[in-house]
Amino acid sequence: MRTIEWKTGIVKTIDQTKLPRQTVFLELKNCNEVAEAIKNMRMRGAPLLGAAAAYGLALTAYHSTARDKEKLMEELTISAETLKKTRPTAVNLFWAIDRVMNKAEKTNENTESIVKTIIEEAQKIADEDVEMNLRMGEHGSTLIDDGDTVLTHCNAGALATVDYGTALGVIRAARKNGKRIEVIATETRPLLQGARLTAYELFRDGFPITLITDSMAGYIMSKGLINKVVVGADRIVKDAVVNKIGTFTLAVLAHEHKIPFYVAAPTSTFDINRLAKDVIVEERSMEEVVKFAGIQVAPQGVTASNPAFDLTPMKYVTAIICEAGVFSPTELHKSSRFRD
């Protein structure tokens, strides 16, 4: 199944905070439930958040009793605001909301038709995400050699998208194209998306995978055990890649060891008229750091820092893989013609 699905007035997804121990499906009935699931990371991953936000608006539209466009747009605007407040860093969320809202705004028909248009647009965003990931995978696959060991961080897989994945999509496509690939996954503290989600996806799909703690990446690289690094992105600005905390460290280590460092992300993640300094890095609860798997590990009362993302300057990025092809960081503007 896809990570997120529209079931006539219900959005079905999997609670990613429970994986891999439990497979719990969620049936989200309104936009507030979608917002809660995003905020608490039951759904996460920049491309998935885009689709989720679009479906959130679709739920509002579907269940609306508004008789005219003005009233419907009012309700949609409230939902859009609620969704925009969930997580500040990944840009796909804002991109998808704006896309659906613009589409609705431009539709000059009865409310029934507008509702239909919104649902179709959300579906389209989800379908396009899968399509983009497949195309991205093919482009990225050309950068991977037979026999490579690829390091990846966090989860940029099927679970971070509607299906297939960005960074893991590249790995999947490389295997589909006959290349033998081994994967090393960093566990990705504090929320362990690498251990819980990437290991889960790849192990299930029969990839040779080895899990390491985030602290081991440097040593593993120094031993010559990594050929490529491929990660996803939550936002790509002109001068930096914004991605899960720890990405920057891996980029510096890869640079030091002359290992290619690739970022795989759809153009919906691109925000190349903005700069690193414009990005708000979400600071999450320190509970996530002082606790491990729900158990208090640090002494009670100790302060912790918990930035959810970091910024990797483009000098550390070898290339960016998107659905339009493979771009060097300085050529990124050339990809813009592929955006809507």
Active site amino acids: 234
- Among 296, 331, 333, 339, indicate the residue that binds its own copies (CB under 8 A): 296
Q: According to the binding rule CB under 8 A, does residue 157 interact with its own copies? A: no
Binding piece for its own copies, criterion CB under 8 A, among 36-44, 166-174, 244-252, 318-326: 244-252
CB of 300 to its own copies, least distance (A): 8
For residue 99, CA distances in Å to 73, 121, 283 come to 14, 8, 27
The tokens for 146 are 């037979």
Supply φ then ψ for residue 282, to 5 degrees. Answer: -65, 130
305-308: which pairs have CB atoms within 8 A and are 24 or more residues apart? Answer: 306/190, 307/245, 307/281, 307/282, 307/283, 308/89, 308/244, 308/245, 308/281, 308/282, 308/283, 308/284
**Contact call for residues 162 and 313 (beta carbons, < 8 A):** no
**What is the residue whose two structure tokens read 């971070």?**
160
- Among 21, 106, 277, 337, indicate the residue that binds its own copies (CB under 8 A): 21
Q: According to the binding rule CB under 8 A, does residue 248 interact with its own copies? A: yes
CB of 302 to its own copies, least distance (A): 5
**Contact call for residues 208 and 182 (beta carbons, < 8 A):** yes
The tokens for 141 are 């696959």
Pattern 254-293, its own copies, x by CB under 8 A: --x--------------------------------xx-xx
- Among 8, 65, 303, 330, indicate the residue that binds its own copies (CB under 8 A): 303
Q: According to the binding rule CB under 8 A, does residue 206 interact with its own copies? A: no
The CA distance from 29 to 16, in Å, is: 18
Q: Give the DSSP letter of residue 274.
A: S
- Among 10, 134, 212, 272, indicate the residue that binds its own copies (CB under 8 A): 212
- Among 22, 70, 108, 301, indicate the residue that binds its own copies (CB under 8 A): 301
Cβ proximity to its own copies: between 98 and 287 the closer is 287
The answer to whether the Cα torsion of 171, 166, 202, 90 is positive or negative is positive
Size of the site for its own copies (CB under 8 A): 54
Binding piece for its own copies, criterion CB under 8 A, among 87-95, 142-150, 263-271, 304-312: 304-312
Binding piece for its own copies, criterion CB under 8 A, among 61-69, 77-85, 100-108, 214-222: 214-222
Q: Give the DSSP letter of residue 29.
A: -
Cβ proximity to its own copies: between 50 and 246 the closer is 246
CB of 91 to its own copies, least distance (A): 19
CB of 296 to its own copies, least distance (A): 7
| Listed residue (167, 180, 179) closest to 140, CA to CA | 167
**Contact call for residues 327 and 262 (beta carbons, < 8 A):** no
The CA distance from 239 to 248, in Å, is: 13
Q: According to the binding rule CB under 8 A, does residue 249 interact with its own copies? A: yes
Tell me how crowded residue 167 is: count the other CB atoms within 10 A of its CB.
32
Strands 235-237 and 270-271: parallel
Binding piece for its own copies, criterion CB under 8 A, among 66-74, 163-171, 191-199, 324-332: 191-199
Q: What residues line the site for its own copies (CB under 8 A)?
A: 20-21, 184, 186-190, 192, 195-196, 199-200, 203-204, 209-220, 222, 245-246, 248-249, 252-253, 256, 289-290, 292-299, 301-307, 310-311
